[in-house]
Amino acid sequence: MTNTDFIKHALRMIKVLGEGDTPSAEQGDDGLFVLNALIASLYGLGIDLGLAQQTSTTDDLNVPDEYVGGFTALLAVFLQPYYPASQVPVVVAAAADTGRQKMLLDAILANQQQTSLCHLPRGEGQRRVGRILNG
């Protein structure tokens, strides 16, 4: 999807655009600015989706498939202050929150390292158990 596609869908979510409408040049510029702010905000939370700052509305934005819905809803929430007459529907706010939580959890899990406890001493009273056949 292009940056314009994400912006268009986000603006539809907050009822700024209707079905079949496309963003104006000014809406595209504002949307691109907010899109970059969203990418930076996610990165600041430790969520790296591999997205660079965007320079054109016509460029492709390769958001991983499992995050497209949540990312678009987050973009809608971030865009809403630019359109004071609009409101973020509850379902969009919930999708944005759920999407952000999933991205954050996945980022945390991806950064976890397995820890070996083999180097820790055994507790008091613990003894090494031999194998049955060779004692």
Given a cut of 60, whether residue 130 has pLDDT beyond it is: no
- Residue range 32-41: mean pLDDT, rounded: 97
pLDDT digits (tens, 9 = 90+) for 96-117: 999 999 999 999 888 876 677 6
- Residue range 30-46: mean pLDDT, rounded: 96
Residue 11 burial class via C-beta count within 10 angstroms: exposed 0-12, middle 13-18, buried 19 and up: buried
Q: What is the pTM of this model?
A: 0.81
pLDDT score recorded for residue 91: 97
| Strand, coil or helix: 60 | strand
Domain residue spans of the chain: 3-111
Domain 3-111 fold is: Hypothetical protein yqbg (1.10.3230)
Contacts of 118 (CB under 8 A, 6+ apart): none
